[in-house]
Amino acid sequence: MQVPDFDVAILGGGCAGLSLAVRLAQSDLSVRIIEPRQEYTNDRAWSFWRTRADPFEDCVRKEWSSWTIAGPLGLTARSSSQMRYQTVEAGTFYHRACEMIAKGSNMTLSLGVSAQSVAHSSAGWQVHTNKGTFTAATVVDTRPPRRIPTYGQFFLGREIKTEIPIFDPDVVQLMHFRSGYSAGVDFVYVLPFAVDQALVEVTSFAPHNPGHQIFTRWLDAEIAVLNPGQTEVLRTEAGALPMQAGFADLKHDNVIHMGLGGGAARPSTGYAFTRIQSQADHVAAALIAGEFPDSKLDGRVTHFMDRVFLQVLAAAPARGPAMFQSLFRNAPANRLERFLSGSTHPLDRLSVMASLPPLPFLHAAAFPK
Ligand SMILES: Cc1cc2nc3c(=O)[nH]c(=O)nc-3n(C[C@H](O)[C@H](O)[C@H](O)COP(=O)(O)OP(=O)(O)OC[C@H]3O[C@@H](n4cnc5c(N)ncnc54)[C@H](O)[C@@H]3O)c2cc1C
């Protein structure tokens, strides 16, 4: 075999690509990350319940121990003495990741470079880019998936600074349900950073994206009803995440798939950040040990539960708000939050299953679509 230019090529320097690169920067492997963006901007914020350590713990902007759900059953408030809901801003994350990568002796981060194709070669792989070709023994592909999922999480959010203090900075409004914006389940999410500053986001779990116009009108109305006075928009974000069990089942192409294209978004929730961190730990450990990693995150039981949950949600979206509220009302403290963060512990799973109305789930389990 010809000696490759790099041990590892990482296609895409977003959340998954940089998370892996940061871990590999502490090894002897030579790594090239290629990323089409010319520069990083603060393009999103990742929020999640922290369940494990990761290299970005010092990038947390704010954390909360209370959250609410509001819907047909009224207001459900939950607090935790153990679990913290945290936010990491992408701008801080990218900066920190670039710093850690720059400390590695064999790391190359190439901005403004996009992968066009990869092909087997005598050196392992040839990576063709808009700026020429290079070779690598192993390819990790973190580019966004091109497939369109049959169900997804769609959202539009604005971080705003208001003239009037209108937010409770200690409580996250996780899911405050609305209706009539999509063919699925609609809710508003408010992440309060201060009494006068928050990310307000309108979200649909639905078979199709309701579209920018509907989202803009909906978001305008949600902000107006808060009576915020003069409002400054500090940042906007939008997304479309797959919510489909088996969406990213592993392709047997000898390329390592990570991030959204590697099944990192939990099919039943869309949460991906903590799962990307465990995927990055696992893939880095295998590459450093000279092994081919299995980057799959979900076993058969999780896959089955996600499939059943999504089938019930898609079949009867009007029942969605009450279903989510039952979960947040009935599941024991911390277990639901751990489950939503990706825990596959049998007790966490069991608590979640026991907190849901059994009939629709038994039906969906027995009659898969
Ligand atoms: C606005 C927004 C908010 C989100 N909030 C949360 C949250 O609160 N909690 C949570 O858990 N998850 C959240 N997610 C979901 C998920 O965590 C993110 O989408 C996350 O960034 C996924 O990581 P990734 O590496 O798969 O994709 P990205 O971070 O999108 O990285 C993919 C990279 O591939 C690059 N790329 C594209 N084409 C090429 C090419 N041809 N060659 C090389 N590189 C290429 C892109 O430029 C990009 O940098 C959010 C997503 C979005 C969009």
pLDDT computed for residue 103 by the predictor? 96
Q: Which residue has the higher pLDDT, 213 or 265?
A: 213
Gap between the Cα atoms of 140 and 24, Å rounded: 12
Candidate of 34, 35, 147, 257 to mutate for ligand 1, largest count of ligand atoms within 8 Å of Cβ: 35
Nearest Cα residue to atom 49 of ligand 1: 14
* Domain boundaries, given as residue ranges, for the chain: 6-62+89-147+244-288, 152-242, 300-366
What amino acid is encoded at 141 in this protein? D
pLDDT digits (tens, 9 = 90+) for 178-225: 999 999 999 999 999 999 999 999 999 999 999 999 999 999 999 999
Q: In angstroms, how far apart are the furthest CA atoms of the chain?
A: 67
Which of 61, 117, 131, 241 is the pocket-test mutation for ligand 1 (most atoms within 8 Å of CB)? 241
Report how far apart the first and last C-alpha atoms of the chain are (Å, whole number): 47
Kindly state if the Cβ of 14 falls inside 6 Å of ligand 1: yes
Is residue 247's pLDDT more than 90?
Answer: no
Tell me if 15 CB under 6 Å of ligand 1. yes
Q: Compute how many other C-beta atoms are within 10 angstroms of the C-beta atom of residue 38.
A: 8
- Ligand 1 atom closest to the Cα of residue 264 is 26
Per residue in 108-146, pLDDT (tens digit) is 999 999 999 999 988 899 999 999 999 999 999 999 988
Cα–Cα distance, 127 to 119 (Å, whole number):
7
What residue's CA is closest to ligand 1, atom 16?
272
Given this structure, which CATH class describes domain 6-62+89-147+244-288? alpha beta
pLDDT score recorded for residue 359 = 65
Can you give the pLDDT at residue 335?
85
CA of 13 to the centre of ligand 1 (A): 9
**Mean per-residue pLDDT for 223-243?**
95
For the stretch 139-175, pLDDT in tens is 999 999 887 788 899 999 999 999 999 999 999 999 9
Residue range 46-67: mean pLDDT, rounded: 94
Q: What is the pLDDT of residue 338?
A: 83
How much of the chain, in percent, has pLDDT values that exceed 70? 95
Query: What number of residues does the chain have?
Result: 369
Residues 147-180, buried b or exposed e (16+ Cβ, 10 A)? eebebbbbbbbbbbebeeebbeeebbbbbbbbee
Average pLDDT rounded to a whole number, residues 65-91:
94
Pocket test for ligand 1, best of 94, 143, 219 (most atoms within 8 A of CB): 143
Distance 142 CA to ligand 1 centre (A): 9
Predicted confidence (pLDDT) at residue 366 exceeds the cutoff of 80: no
Residue 66: is its pLDDT beyond 90? yes
Output the average pLDDT for the chain.
91
pLDDT digits over 292-350, tens only? 998 777 777 777 777 877 888 888 889 889 888 988 888 888 888 887 777 777 787 77
Contact indicator for 139, 11 with CB cutoff of 8 Å = yes
Helix, strand and coil percent figures for the chain, each rounded to 5: 30, 30, 35
Dist. CA 180–CA 11, nearest whole Å: 39
pTM comes to 0.93
Whether the per-residue pLDDT at 5 is higher than 70: the answer is yes
Domain range 152-242, CATH architecture: 2-Layer Sandwich (3.30)
User: Residue 241: CB within 6 Å of ligand 1?
Assistant: yes
Q: What is the DSSP letter of 356?
A: S
DSSP secondary structure, 143-190, as one string: PPP-SPPSSEEEEEEEEEEESS----TTEEEEEEEE-SSSSSEEEEEE
pLDDT of 1 > 80? The answer is no
Same fold, 6-62+89-147+244-288 and 152-242: no
